[in-house]
Chains A and B, each alone.
Chain A
Amino acid sequence: MSYTEKELKKELEGKSYEFGFVTDIEAEKAPVGLNEEIIRLISSKKNEPDWLLEYRLNAFRIWNEMSSPDWAHVKYQEPDFQNICYYSAPKQKKQLESLDQVDPELLRTMEKLGISMEEQKRLTGVAVDFVMDSVSVATSFKDKLADLGIIFCSFSEAVQNHPELVKKYMGSVIPASDNYYAALNSAVFTDGSFCYIPKGVRCPMELSTYFRINEAGTGQFERTLVIADESSYVSYLEGCTAPQRDENQLHAAVVELIALDQAEIKYSTVQNWYPGDENGKGGVFNFVTKRGLCGYRSKISWTQVETGSAVTWKYPSCILKGDYAVGEFYSVALTNNYQQADTGTKMIHVGRNTKSTIISKGISAGFSQNSYRGLVKIGKGAKNARNFSQCDSLLMTDRCGAHTFPYIECENPSAMVEHEATTSKIGEDQLFYCMQRGIPEEKAISLIVNGYAKEVLNKLPMEFAVEAQKLLEISLEGSVG
Chain B
Amino acid sequence: MDTVLKIENLHCQVQGQQILKGLNLEIKRGEVHAIMGPNGSGKSTLSSVLAGKEDYEITAGQILYQNEDIGELSPEERSWKGMFLAFQYPVEIPGVSNINFLRTALNERNKALGRDQISAKDFLRLVSEKSSLVGLDNKLKNRSVNEGFSGGEKKRNEIFQMAMLEPTLSILDETDSGLDIDALKIVSNGVNTLKSEDNATIVITHYQRLLDYIVPDFVHVLYDGKIVKSGDKSLALDLEERGYDWLKLEKAL
Contacts and interface: CB of A to CB of B under 8 A. Distances in A.
B85 A2 contact: no
Contact of B51 (A2, A436, A441): A436
Most buried by A among B54, B85, B93: B93
A439 B91 contact: no
Interface stretch (B59-67, B103-111, B125-133, B201-209): B103-111
Given A437-B165, A443-B104, A447-B104, A429 B91 contact: yes
Contact of B91 (A3, A427, A455): A427
Contacts of B114: none
A440 B74 CA distance: 9
19 contacts: A427-B91, A432-B53, A432-B54, A436-B52, A436-B76, A436-B87, A437-B101, A437-B102, A438-B76, A438-B79, A438-B105, A438-B109, A438-B112, A443-B104, A447-B93, A447-B100, A448-B93, A448-B96, A455-B95
A449 to B, nearest CB: 9
A19 interface: no
B108 A438 contact: yes
A451 B96 contact: yes
A435 B74 contact: yes
Contact of A440 (B51, B84, B108): B108
A2 B165 contact: no
B95 A451 contact: yes
User: Sorted from nearest, which 3 A-B pairs have the closest CB atoms?
Assistant: A451-B95, A451-B96, A454-B95
B40 interface: no
Given A2-B74, A438-B109, A439-B76, 10 more contacts: A1-B52, A435-B75, A435-B76, A437-B105, A437-B161, A438-B108, A439-B108, A447-B96, A448-B96, A451-B95
Nearest to B53: A432
Given A430-B91, A443-B104, A451-B96, A436 B74 contact: no
Nearest to B109: A438
B94 interface: yes
B96 A439 contact: no
B144 interface: yes
Contacts of A2: 72-74, 77
A240 B165 CA distance: 42
Given A435-B79, A436-B85, A440-B108, A3 B95 contact: no
A436 B79 contact: yes
Contacts of A441: 76
A81 interface: no
A436 B93 CA distance: 14
B149 interface: no
Nearest to B146: A433
A441 B77 CA distance: 11
A169 interface: no
Residue in A3, A429, A430, A451 with the greatest tally of chain B CB atoms within 10 Å: A451
A131 B78 CA distance: 50
Interface of B: 51-54, 72-80, 84-85, 87, 90-91, 93-96, 100-102, 104-106, 108-109, 112, 144, 161, 165
Nearest to B86: A436
A440 B95 contact: no
A15 B161 CA distance: 35
A428 interface: yes
Among A3, A436, A448, find the residue whose CB has the most chain B CB atoms closer than 10 A.
Answer: A436
Nearest to B97: A451
Interface of A: 1-3, 427-430, 432-441, 443, 447-448, 450-455
Given A433-B91, A440-B76, A450 B165 contact: no
B165 A433 contact: no
Contacts of A436: 51-52, 75-76, 78-79, 84-85, 87
Contact of B108 (A427, A443, A453): A443
A64 B171 CA distance: 70
Contacts of B105: 434, 437-439
A448 B161 CA distance: 18
Contacts of A1: 52, 54, 72, 74
A452 B74 contact: no
A437 B79 contact: yes
A436 B105 CA distance: 9
A3 to B, nearest CB: 7
Contact of A3 (B53, B54, B74, B85): B74
Contacts of B85: 436
Nearest to A455: B95
A430 B78 CA distance: 17
Nearest to B104: A439
A430 B96 CA distance: 12
Contacts of B104: 439, 443, 447
A429 to B, nearest CB: 5
B77 to A, nearest CB: 8
Contacts of A454: 95-96
B159 to A, nearest CB: 13
A47 to B, nearest CB: 51
B95 A450 contact: yes
Contacts of A439: 76, 104-105, 108
A439 B101 CA distance: 9
A264 to B, nearest CB: 26
A443 B96 CA distance: 13
A454 B142 CA distance: 14
A451 B94 CA distance: 6
Nearest to A452: B95
Given A447-B93, A453-B95, A438 B54 contact: no
